[in-house]
Structure 1
Amino acid sequence: MRPSVFSVRRLSAVLLALAAAPWAWAAPAAATAIEVPVVQVRPQPVATGIEYDAVIQPVRQSTIAAQAAGRVVALLVKAGDRVKAGQVLATIDDRETQTGVQRSQAQVAQAEADLRNAKAQFDRTTELRQKGFVSQAALDSAEAQYKAALAGRDQAAAALRQAGLAQGYTRVTAPYEGWVLQTLADPGDLAAPGRPLLVLYAPRPLRAVVQVPASLDAVARSATRVEVQVPTAKGGATSWIEPTSRTALPAADPVAQTVEWRLDLPDAAASAVVPGQQVRVRFVGGSAERLVIPAQAVLRRGELTGVYTATEQGFMLKAVRLGADHGAAGIEVLAGLGRDDRVALDPVRAGLAGARPAAAAAAR
Structure 2
Amino acid sequence: MKRFLLCLPLAVLVITGCSKKKVDDVPEPPRPVRIAPVTRADIDSQLIYGAELQPSVEVKLFSTVMDRILSLPFQEGDYIEKGEVVALIRREAMDRGLDQLGAQLLALDAQIANLESELARAKDLFTKGVATQQALDQVQTSYDATVAQRKALVAGRGQLAATAANAVVKAPISGVFANRMFEEGDIASPQAPLGRILVIDTLKVTLKLIESHVAKVHMGQEVTIDLDAYPGRTFSGHVTRILPYLDPETRTNAVEVSIKNPKDESGQYLLKPGMYGRAKLITERRENVIVAPGEALLLDTRITGEAGQELRKAVVVKPDNTADIRVVKLGARDGNQWEILEGLAEGESLVVRGHHGIKQGQNVVIDTQEDRL
Aligned to 1:16: none
| 1:171 Cα deviation from its structure 2 partner | 1.5
**Which of residues 281, 284, 287 is equivalent to 2:282?**
284
| 1:106 Cα deviation from its structure 2 partner | 2.1
One-letter amino acid matched to 2:234: T
**CA–CA distance in structure 2, aligned partners of residues 162 and 137 of structure 1:** 38
| 1:78 Cα deviation from its structure 2 partner | 1.0
**CA–CA distance in structure 1, aligned partners of residues 59 and 272 of structure 2:** 16
What TM-score comes out, normalization by structure 2 length? 0.59
Contact 2:65 2:188 in 1 (8 A): yes
Query: Are residues 88 and 239 of structure 1, via their aligned partners in 2, closer, same or farther at CA, if it must alter by over 3 Å?
Result: closer
SS of equivalent to 1:123: helix
Query: Are residues 253 and 187 of structure 1, via their aligned partners in 2, closer, same or farther at CA, if it must alter by over 3 Å?
Result: farther
**CA–CA distance in structure 2, aligned partners of residues 264 and 42 of structure 1:** 36
**CA–CA distance in structure 1, aligned partners of residues 120 and 150 of structure 2:** 18
Contact 1:227 1:281 in 2 (8 A): no
**CA–CA distance in structure 2, aligned partners of residues 181 and 325 of structure 1:** 40
Contact 1:247 1:263 in 2 (8 A): no
Q: What are the equivalent positions in structure 2 for 1:120-269 lying under 5 Å apart?
A: 120-203=117-200, 205-212=202-209, 216-223=210-217, 226-230=221-225, 237-243=233-239, 245-248=240-243, 250-252=245-247, 254=249, 259-265=253-259
| 1:48 Cα deviation from its structure 2 partner | 0.7
* Consecutive unaligned residues in structure 2, runs of 5 or more: 1-36, 264-268, 294-331, 339-345, 350-373
Aligned to 1:70: 67
SS of equivalent to 1:209: strand
Query: Are residues 217 and 187 of structure 1, via their aligned partners in 2, closer, same or farther at CA, if it must alter by over 3 Å?
Result: same
**CA–CA distance in structure 2, aligned partners of residues 52 and 84 of structure 1:** 35
Q: What are the equivalent positions in structure 2 for 1:80-119 lying under 5 Å apart?
A: 80-119=77-116
- Number of residues of Structure 1 aligned to a counterpart in Structure 2: 257
Contact 1:104 1:163 in 2 (8 A): no
**CA–CA distance in structure 2, aligned partners of residues 77 and 272 of structure 1:** 22
SS of equivalent to 2:50: strand
Query: Are residues 325 and 266 of structure 1, via their aligned partners in 2, closer, same or farther at CA, if it must alter by over 3 Å?
Result: farther
One-letter amino acid matched to 2:257: L
| 1:262 Cα deviation from its structure 2 partner | 1.8
One-letter amino acid matched to 1:247: I
| 1:173 Cα deviation from its structure 2 partner | 1.2
Contact 1:54 1:211 in 2 (8 A): no
SS of equivalent to 1:107: helix
| 1:197 Cα deviation from its structure 2 partner | 0.8
Aligned to 1:61: 58
SS of equivalent to 2:200: coil
Task: Tell me the C-alpha RMSD between the 2 structures.
Answer: 3.6
SS of equivalent to 2:160: helix
Which string of whole-angstrom CA distances, capped at 9 and with x for unpartnered residues, describes residues 218-247 of structure 1?
32333467432248xx9954254433x222
**CA–CA distance in structure 1, aligned partners of residues 347 and 194 of structure 2:** 60
| 1:61 Cα deviation from its structure 2 partner | 0.8
Which string of whole-angstrom CA distances, capped at 9 and with x for unpartnered residues, describes residues 174-220 of structure 1?
112222122111122222222211111233553211234xxx32323
Contact 2:60 2:196 in 1 (8 A): yes
Contact 1:229 1:279 in 2 (8 A): no
